Chain A
């Protein structure tokens, strides 16, 4: 069938600059560029370009420019080019339109409508260059009180397992298979060096990365890929995945072509088979079932590891989180509307779920009203772009956040949203050996560590401005937030005052 989809981008090659070196041919995972031996010249197929910019960045003479192709459909506020082209795609394939990465729709981004506080005169701000600033966070269930022997001062309270992180930012669940092994290794190395945690995702963990076990969150998803006693024993935290922000209520699907031999070995499935994670875990059809799995995992690991339950931010997220805490979870991870993914039905990604800011506020308030906030840590995920977003999430009530897209961007990702194809030119969302090796784990880890270091410095500056020297004093401290341009109802959910009050 002849496609009637127009090319989205134009590849412009400056003939005066191009030296026909074919770097672009070699770098492009999309086979956009090709060498024509008859004319002895490099040319491009515009229609294949996804604007991942690999060729642009690597062209030694900067001869390439990628531009969005001007294509003036008749102006229509309802039938936008995106809507029309999605229909073209479906009429040509008869399938679900897939996409990668997170929601790119202009839903209100609450981080951009919240502003932070700073001290002036009555309370001195603290200069983080001169004074100690503490970002350490302990994840895990806390008790309601501490008991001490009044005579000997001996501690009588024994807390559930606690896991420290030195920066309140962890790496989101990204499975081996969805991302390359080198990226997995870069995340693991960076987590170890920065004193935080990475999340294996639902695809297990390659054996040689067990070295980073003290910084690993081992995910147990519906497919149970790669889940075995050693895997559970290895991790610092176990995470049961119920849902994901990019595709609430939807399972996972790693196409067979991405299931290479090493991926198959790690996932414990045959090479080349589709790895299907069903939407529900088939032993969890109720909150009681979830509780049983939580305690099964705790039993299996002798109560030495906190168990996290990850859900997508959806309408009744506060009530759901309350149930999860009462079911015995030590950590509730909530993934919001802008959470990313390797592959999701576009219609789900763009229309299901709620923004993470509202979910954090609702969950934190609900757990406090029920007097059980101490029983679990709250981890938020879904589109955190910078340290300002992170600190605002913490002020709303999160203990820490997960970053996925931001971490991949640090590794070179240009957010072309084509992760589901496995052809990532940057070697990130792919298992093709020739592409995967483009990420050097050591250099990648350094980029990630640098990112976390930069964010930490920025968070310390902002904390210092507030006159605060320990992160726990801003956690859930909504007085340090003000809303700009939000409705009364939104401010009520967020528990923040309008700016100026």
Chain B
């Protein structure tokens, strides 16, 4: 097995320590729009990163191949690509394979070869392994078995675009303004200990799950050990990987609703649980008793997304920033309120979610702000002209 830590974590640190900027937009009516807004928002939060990673996830971008798994693969050399393609031909029906469109960008240096493949799993129908687990298994095989190759996106009708650089540079490199999707998330990375590896940038992805993350999980050690009992292999040493697997375990495998899964990652305090009605109390007690090792302790904010749904969640004592905003069918979540204002000057309401309370947006459900949200009026004398950001 290849040693991903060699790329991602050359000093063998316990985990990758990060502070970052996050942004997400969901059009709950399902209208598709370009990546210009999310790029602009990320560019505004330029100083939340340090140039060692930027990335975006976009949903609904491949309607012509909506039934195919879109595998985005980075390879470090020609031989790796040949191995990947041979592997894919063996395990999938490849509908289409092509380079991911890119343009030369001055600050993006030494990028890997980037290809995407639209595939159907070639799986024995009688197999007890689900289609999703089959795809996860094959992705893991490539990532851990083919030297110099890494699948960084593996969902349907969605894609991850990420690399080493500031997010606006990554967006330029991937020509993101030319895509249209109904949901976008973005990430600006501030790692403190990584050399900056393309695969280590966010969003972190498995199937159609993506996670962008700001923070440092102090419970990482036990989160990993718990997930290992369920067959996950945490090879990246990043907190984000743990969050992605935790969501996969809780929501896909254990069928917990999103709101309940959020209560596992950022549970109420025991004192709050004791004040609940008996049934609700029993539920929360049981969640903490069984999944206590998945409690994400320490500062974090995540935006997790999958088909049709976007979830923003901060740690239970709100050590990292998160702001949400609503305008019509659109739900915005961001590390900074200014970024929401920039892309939506007439935002109807913004609010700072309580720690541990998820902001959940779904296709077909018009987002409504909580009663505590501020209905916003532009402060006297302020003007958006005061903010100029080059995307």
- Does residue B293 face the partner (Cβ distance < 8 Å to A)? yes
Interface set, chain B 222-263, CB cutoff 8 A to A: 222, 225-226, 228-230, 254-257, 259-260
Query: A-facing mask of B321-357, CB < 8 A → 1, else 0?
Result: 0000000000000000000000000000000000000
State whether the Cβ of B279 lies closer than 8 Å to any Cβ in chain A. yes
Complex: A473 Cα to B315 Cα, angstroms = 13
| A144→B231 CA distance, assembly (Å) | 13
Give bound CA distance, A470 to B219, whole Å: 9
A475 contacts B293, C-beta separation under 8 Å: yes
* Contacts A148-B283, A153-B260, A467-B218 given; does A472 touch B292 at CB 8 Å: yes
- Give A51 to B293 CA distance when docked, in angstroms: 47
Residue pair A478, B256 in contact (C-beta under 8 Å): no
User: Could you tell me if B289 and A122 are in contact, using CB atoms closer than 8 angstroms?
Assistant: no
Q: Which residue of A lies closest to B218 (CB)?
A: A467
Q: Is the CB of A123 within 8 A of B256?
A: no
Task: Mark contacts of B110-138 with chain A using CB atoms, 8 A cut-off: 1 yes-contact digit, 0 otherwise.
Answer: 00000000000000000000000000000
- Are B257 and A148 within 8 A (Cβ)? yes
Q: Give min CB distance, B11 to chain A, whole Å.
A: 9
In the bound complex, how far is the Cα of B143 from the Cα of A333, in angstroms? 41
Least Cβ–Cβ distance between B229 and chain A, in angstroms? 5
The CA-CA distance from A302 to B259 in the complex, in Å, is 35
Q: Give the contact stretch, choosing among B12-20, B77-85, B169-177.
A: B12-20
B192 at interface by CB-CB < 8 Å: yes
Q: Is A136 an interface residue (CB 8 A)?
A: yes
Beyond A123-B216, A480-B221, whether A157 also contacts B286 by CB under 8 A is yes
Residues of A within 8 A of B271 (CB): 132
Interchain CB contact under 8 A, A143 and B283: no
A145 touches B288 (CB 8 A): no
Interface code A219-261, partner B: CB below 8 Å = 1, 0 otherwise? 0000000000000000000000000000000000000000000
The yes or no answer to B377 lying at the interface (CB within 8 A) is: no
A122 and B279 form a contact (CB under 8 A): no
Top-4 shortest CB links A-B: A479-B221, A472-B292, A473-B219, A473-B297
Chain B 203-230 residues near chain A, CB threshold 8 A? 215-216, 218-222, 225-226, 228-230
**Is A400 at the interface (CB under 8 A from chain B)?**
no
User: Which stretch, A31-39, A200-208, A368-376, touches the partner chain B?
Assistant: A368-376
Number of cross-chain contacts by CB at 8 Å? 122
The residue among B192, B216, B229, B287 with the most chain A CB atoms within 10 A of its own CB is B229
Residue contact B279 to A155, C-beta cutoff 8 Å:
yes
List chain B residues, Cβ under 8 A from A123. 17, 215-216, 218, 298-299
Q: Is the CB of B286 within 8 A of A146?
A: yes
Q: Are B228 and A368 in contact (CB under 8 A)?
A: yes
Write out, one digit per residue, whether chain A residues 129-155 have a CB within 8 A of any chain B CB (1) or not (0). Answer: 001101010101011111110100111
Q: Does B269 contact A (CB under 8 A)?
A: yes
Cβ < 8 Å to B, chain A residues 154-210? 154-155, 157, 159, 162
Complex CA gap A126/B219 in Å reads: 14
CA of A162 to CA of B285, assembled, Å: 10
Report B-chain residues with C-beta under 8 Å of the C-beta of A475.
222, 292-293
Asked if A476 is an interface residue, CB under 8 A from chain B, the answer is yes
Q: How far is the CA of A173 from the CA of B15 in the complex (A)?
A: 40
Known: A119-B218, A371-B229. A470 touches B290 (CB 8 A): no
| In the complex, A477 has a CB within 8 A of chain B | yes
- Pick from B218, B254, B298 the residue with the most CB of A within 10 Å: B218
Q: How far is the CA of A78 from the CA of B166 in the complex (A)?
A: 69
- Are B283 and A155 within 8 A (Cβ)? yes
Kindly state whether residue A64 has any CB partner on chain B within 8 Å. Answer: no
Whether A329 is near chain B, meaning CB under 8 Å from some CB there, is no
Cα distance A148–B290 in the bound complex, in angstroms? 13
B110 to chain A, nearest CB (A): 27
**B319 interfacial by beta-carbon distance below 8 Å:** yes
Whether B289 pairs with A479 at a CB distance below 8 angstroms is no
User: Can you list 13 A-B pairs with a CB-CB distance of less than 8 A?
Assistant: A122-B192, A131-B317, A134-B269, A136-B270, A145-B290, A147-B254, A148-B255, A148-B260, A153-B260, A155-B279, A371-B229, A477-B225, A478-B221
**Contact between B283 and A373, CB atoms less than 8 A apart:** no
Q: Please, which residues of chain B bring their CB within 8 A of the CB of A485? A: none
In the complex, chain B residues whose CB is within 8 Å of the CB of A472: 219, 222, 288, 292-293, 295
Interface membership of B282, Cβ < 8 A = yes
Mask of A94-120 contacts with B, CB within 8 angstroms, 1/0: 000000000000000000000000010
Is B290 in contact with A468, judged by CB distance below 8 angstroms? no
A473 touches B218 (CB 8 A): yes
Contact A466 B218 (CB under 8 A): yes
Q: Quick check: is B291 within 8 A (CB to CB) of the other chain?
A: yes
- Bound complex: CA A368 to CA B216 (Å): 24
Interface string of B265-289 (1 = CB under 8 A from A): 0000111000000010011011111
Q: Is the CB of B257 within 8 A of A468?
A: no
Pairwise interchain contact A473-B286, C-beta atoms closer than 8 A: no
Q: Are A477 and B221 in contact (CB under 8 A)?
A: yes
Distance in angstroms from A22 CB to nearest chain B CB is 54
Residue contact A473 to B260, C-beta cutoff 8 Å: no
Contacts of B220 in A (CB 8 A): 477, 479
- Determine whether the beta carbon of B12 is less than 8 Å from that of A468: no
B297, A468: Cβ atoms closer than 8 Å: yes
CA distance A150 to B19 in the complex (A): 34
What chain A residues lie within 8 Å of B287 (beta carbons)?
Answer: 146
Chain B: minimal CB distance from A366 (Å): 12
* Residues of chain A within 8 A of B221, CB atoms compared: 476-480
Contacts of B216 on A, CB cut-off 8 Å? 122-123, 467
Q: In the complex where A134-B270, A150-B255 touch, is A126 in contact with B290 (Cβ < 8 A)?
A: no
Interface: A124 (CB within 8 A)? yes
A401: B residues at CB distance < 8 A: none
The answer to the question of A474 belonging to the interface, with a C-beta cut-off of 8 Å to chain B, is yes
B282 touching A476, Cβ below 8 Å:
no
In the bound complex, CA of A131 to CA of B222 (Å)? 22
Judged by a CB distance under 8 angstroms, whether A83 is at the interface is no
A102 to chain B, nearest CB (A): 30
Query: Across the interface, which residues of B come within 8 angstroms of A155, CB to CB?
Result: 279, 282-283, 286
How far, in angstroms, from A476 to B221 measured CA to CA in the complex? 8
Q: If the complex has contacts A134-B269, A159-B289, are A467 and B222 also in contact, measured as CB distance less than 8 A? A: no
A159 touching B298, Cβ below 8 Å: no
Q: Which residues of B contact A497 (CB under 8 A)?
A: 14
